[in-house]
């Protein structure tokens, strides 16, 4: 499965402050889902194909990669909290760490979702402000131009 960034970029951009995550534990499917669910509806397939072909490296590094990385982390959060296998569904435990309670987990997920959404809007604004530099980008197909949810309010334009 080909994605715009690799697992080591996800770890470098989305995990910081002493959080260690092995890049091998970042599922490629999560990166693909992040691109499909959040990125493609904004940038469109033509610009996505151009990025996959190596075009617009600066835009990719500054705007696109952080969006994919944070949404990939968001998708990974449930799998990081629980494990499933031959012993059923379990939670990781150690003598040094304690699992976060439900409220703290919700706060962390909410904050991560807000950061990712903010970067997605930032990327969209950059595309609109520099549309001439991205001939593959069609602003009318950008879903953020038609519908958004802000503060639990759905706005259809």
What digits encode the pLDDT tens for the residues 7-17? 999 999 999 87
Quick: pLDDT tens for 79-104: 777 777 787 777 766 666 677 777 88
Residue 156 is predicted with a pLDDT of: 61
Residue 157 is predicted with a pLDDT of: 57
Give me the residue label for tokens 């260690």: 20
* Residues 120 and 67: beta-carbon distance below 8 Å: yes
Residue 100 is predicted with a pLDDT of: 75
Give the global pTM. Answer: 0.86
Give me the residue label for tokens 């409220």: 103
Backbone dihedral angles phi then psi of residue 72, each to the nearest 5 degrees: -65, -45
Distance CA 79, CA 95 (A): 20
């Amino acid at each position: 499965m080909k994605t715009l960034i690799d697992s080591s970029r996800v770890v470098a951009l989305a995990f910081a402050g002493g959080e260690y995550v092995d890049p091998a534990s970042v599922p490629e499917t999560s990166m693909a889902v992040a691109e499909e669910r959040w990125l493609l509806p904004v940038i469109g397939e033509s610009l996505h194909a151009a990025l996959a072909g190596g075009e617009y490296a600066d835009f990719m590094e500054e705007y696109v990669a952080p969006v994919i990385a944070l949404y990939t982390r968001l998708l990974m959060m449930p799998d990081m909290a629980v494990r499933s296998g031959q012993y059923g569904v379990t939670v990781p435990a150690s003598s040094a760490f304690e699992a976060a309670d439900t409220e703290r987990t919700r706060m962390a997920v909410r904050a991560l979702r807000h950061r990712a959404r903010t970067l997605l809007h930032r990327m969209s604004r950059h595309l609109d402000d520099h549309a001439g530099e991205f001939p593959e980008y069609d602003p009318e197909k950008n879903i953020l131009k038609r519908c958004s949810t802000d503060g639990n309010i759905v706005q259809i334009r």
